[in-house]
Structure 1
Amino acid sequence: MASWLPETLFEIVGQGQAPSKDYYQLQVTRTQVSLRWWKISLRSEYRSTKPGEIQESHEDFLENSHLQVQIALVFGSRILEYVINLCSGHFDFLERLPDDLLLTIISYLDLEDIARLSQTSRRFSKLCESDRLWEQIVQASCDTITPHMQALAEDIGWKELFFTSKLQLQHQLRRRKQRQEEQDASDTEL
């Protein structure tokens, strides 16, 4: 399964904790972990400091607690945990799927499951709240979507349209249609 993985498994950049302005790059490939840094300082003793780099194999990284602490200080404990999992061979294939495929899969879930999934990560939260997902859900649950419904969904959002009751929806569609007719009438008068 690891052969399906790209050469670079994970990459992130960040800045050291205040008051540091140092810049860091963490990269995990199939075989090694690399941490690069650049000193950013106005102090004269650091102006000639060259960038640094540490490269470790996955096995060596798992035993290097000093490097793990450095990564946790700069990027946080969740990133460290993720890198340790990658180096241990625990790959999250679901996280690597493209958004279009994930949206199609999510659209088959129950509403409660979509709500739970949205709480698992920022990426899934964004996908579960996206208009693209809710448009798919509305289209799957409605027999027909009129142009007025589509225009209303573009105004208020597909998720809002989905959770709007039928009476509210009919009322909003009627108001929208009246406004459109009034606008058309005023355009023809000019």
Structure 2
Amino acid sequence: MAALLPEILFECDGQAPAPSKDFYQLQVTRSEVIWRWWKISLRSEFRETKPGELKESHQDFVDDSTLQAQIGIVFSQKVLSYVLDLCRGQYDFLERLSESLLLYILTFLDLEDIAQLSQVSHTFQKLCNSDKLWEHIVERSCDTVTTEMRSLAQSIGWKQFFFTNKLQLQLQLRRWRKKQEKNTDIFLE
């Protein structure tokens, strides 16, 4: 299963916490952890400092508490924990699936399961609230989706459209029709 993984498993970069202006990059490949840094300072003793790079095997990184501390400070303990899991061979395959495949899988879940899954991570929250997923849910739950309904759903969002009760929906459709007629009248003048 690990052979299906891309060469670069994880990558992030950013500036160190204030007051430092130094810039760092962390890259985890299938075989090593690469830590790069660029010293950015107006102080004369650091002007000639060249960028640096440290490469360690996964096992060496697991044993290197100094580099782990640096990564924890610069990128957070959550990132450090994730990188340590990668180095120990604990891959999160579900997070690595493409967005379209995850959306396809989500279409088989019940609404309660989608609500719970949206609380797992930012990635799943975004997917569980996406218009693509809710468009599919609406199409599955309605007998027909008219072009008016589709236009209204695109303007207010498919999730909002799904949870709007029928009376409110009819009122919104009437308002939408009047707005369309008004826009057509203005255009024709």
TM norm structure 1: 0.95
Q: Which residue of 2 aligns with 1:154?
A: 154
> 1:180 offset after TM fit, Å?
2.6
> 1:26 offset after TM fit, Å?
0.3
Q: Which amino acid aligns with 2:18?
A: A
> 1:185 offset after TM fit, Å?
4.6
Matches within 5 A, 1:26-175: 26-175=26-175
Q: Over aligned residues, Cα RMSD in angstroms?
A: 1.3
**3-state SS of the aligned residue for 2:150?**
helix
> 1:175 offset after TM fit, Å?
2.3
Q: Which residue of 1 aligns with 2:24?
A: 24
* Partner Cα distance (1:183, 1:54) in 2: 62
Q: Give every structure 1 segment of 4 or more consecutive aligned residues whose post-TM-superposition deviation is greater than 3 Å.
A: 181-188
Name whichever of 67-76 and 106-115 sits farther off: 106-115
Name whichever of 39-48 and 104-113 sits farther off: 104-113
Per-residue CA deviations over 1:81-101 (Å, capped at 9, x if unaligned) read 000000000001111111111
Q: Which residue of 1 aligns with 2:9?
A: 9
Q: Which amino acid aligns with 1:164?
A: T
TM norm structure 2: 0.95
* Partner Cα distance (2:70, 2:186) in 1: 67
* Partner Cα distance (2:47, 2:84) in 1: 34
Q: What 5-or-longer segments of structure 2 have no aligned partner?
A: none
* Partner Cα distance (1:75, 1:187) in 2: 53
Structure 1's 36 and 187: CA in aligned 2 closer, same or farther, altered over 3 A? closer
Q: Which amino acid aligns with 2:153?
A: A
**3-state SS of the aligned residue for 1:11?**
strand
Percent sequence identity over aligned pairs: 61
